[in-house]
Amino acid sequence: MRVVHTTGFAYEEPVTSSYNEARLTPRADNRQNVILNRVETAPATRSYRYTDYWGTAVTAFDLHAPHTELEVTGSSVVETDPFAEPAEAWSWEDLRGDLSLDRFDELLSHTTYVPKDRKLASVAKQLTKGLDPVDAVVAAADWVHSEMSYSAGTTSVHTSAVEAFGDRTGVCQDYAHLTLLLLRSVGIPSRYVSGYLHPRPKAPIGETVQGESHAWVEAWTGAWWGYDPTNAVKVNEQHVSVGVGRDYGDVPPLKGIYSGGGSTALDVVVEITRLA
C-alpha cells in the first residue's frame, strides 16, 4: 500500500522559529516491509532521523525563517501481512514470573492515559477468568468494543481511558487506552500502536481512498501480536503500524514548539492506495 499523510498548519502571525518531531515512518518488522518512505515539509527544512526509546523512527526538523503556514507530508510504500499468533503462547505463570515482570515493567505500568482504576480492574478479572492469555486479550478488547460507542469529537487527545469510559464514547485512541487498562490490570504486557487503516479491503488496485489515522494494541503472550478493539478484529493487511509506546503520549504523529502567532487552522489528510 501507498500511504500519504499530510498535515497543514496556519498561523495568525508569522512564526519565527519552530522545532518539531514527526512520527510518520512505518515500522519495519516481521509483519511489515517498508519499501519507501520520505518526510517532506513546506517551507523546506533540514531534518535528521533517529529511533526513539520505543523503537519508533522519528524525523526531527526545525525552521527559523518567518512563516505563516507549515505543511508536513509523510509518504510511504509498505507491504503488510497479518500477525501470526505465538507458536508457543505463554501461560499466566510465565507472565507473572520475575523475568516477565522485570522485562515488561514499563508496559505493565499505569500512565496518565491508562490510569489505575479499581472498578475496571475488577471487570478485567471477571472477563479473563478461566481463559488463557491469548483468549483474555480478545475477550478484553471485544468487551471494550461492545461497551463503547464510536463518536468523533466527544473526546480529545488528552482524554484518559477512565474519562472516555465514563461517557461510553470515544474514538480509536480511547478504545486502545481502555483495552490497555484492562490488559495491564491482569498482568498482560501491552502497548499502544499508532498507524493507519485502509477502510476498504476490496478497493480496486490503484484506487486512492481517504484513509484513517488509527490506533490499536499489541499484547505479549509469548510474542507481540496485534488486536484492533475499535473494529474487534485481529490486526491484518489493512493495518499499517507506525509507532509503539505506553500510550498516545509516546507516539503523536507530530509534536513541537514554536515562537510566534497562534495556530488558527489544522488540516489533516490521509490517502491510501492499494498497489497489489
pLDDT at 88 over 80: no
**By the 8 A CB rule, do 16 and 261 touch?**
no
**By the 8 A CB rule, do 175 and 231 touch?**
no
Q: What is the pLDDT of residue 259?
A: 86
Q: What is the pLDDT of residue 43?
A: 94
Residue 78: other Cβ atoms inside 10 A: 23
Q: What is the pLDDT of residue 218?
A: 97
Cα-based angle 122, 179, 214 (whole degrees, multiple of 5)? 165
Quickly state the pLDDT bin for 149 (edges 50, 70, 90): very high
Q: Mean pLDDT lowest for which of 84-88, 130-134, 256-260?
A: 84-88
What is the distance between the alpha carbons of residues 34 and 55, in angstroms, rounded to a whole number?
A: 15
Q: What is the pLDDT of residue 80?
A: 94
Q: What is the pLDDT of residue 82?
A: 87
Residues carrying CATH 2.60.40.2250, the chain: 2-81+252-273
- What class does CATH assign to 92-250? alpha beta
pLDDT at 139 over 80: yes
Q: What is the pLDDT of residues 177-207, one digit of tens each?
A: 999 999 999 999 999 999 999 998 888 999 9
Statement: the pTM of the whole predicted model exceeds 0.75: yes
Quickly state the pLDDT bin for 265 (edges 50, 70, 90): low
pLDDT at 266 over 90: no
Range among 54-58, 63-67, 203-207 rated most confident: 54-58
What is the distance between the alpha carbons of residues 276 and 206, in angstroms, rounded to a whole number?
A: 8
- What class does CATH assign to 2-81+252-273? mainly beta
Query: In this structure, is the dihedral angle defined by the CA atoms of residues 241, 246, 252 and 256, taken in order, positive or negative?
Result: negative
Q: What is the pLDDT of residue 141?
A: 98
Residues carrying CATH 3.10.620.30, the chain: 92-250
Q: Identity (one letter) of the amino acid at 110?
A: H
Cα-based angle 198, 165, 153 (whole degrees, multiple of 5)? 55
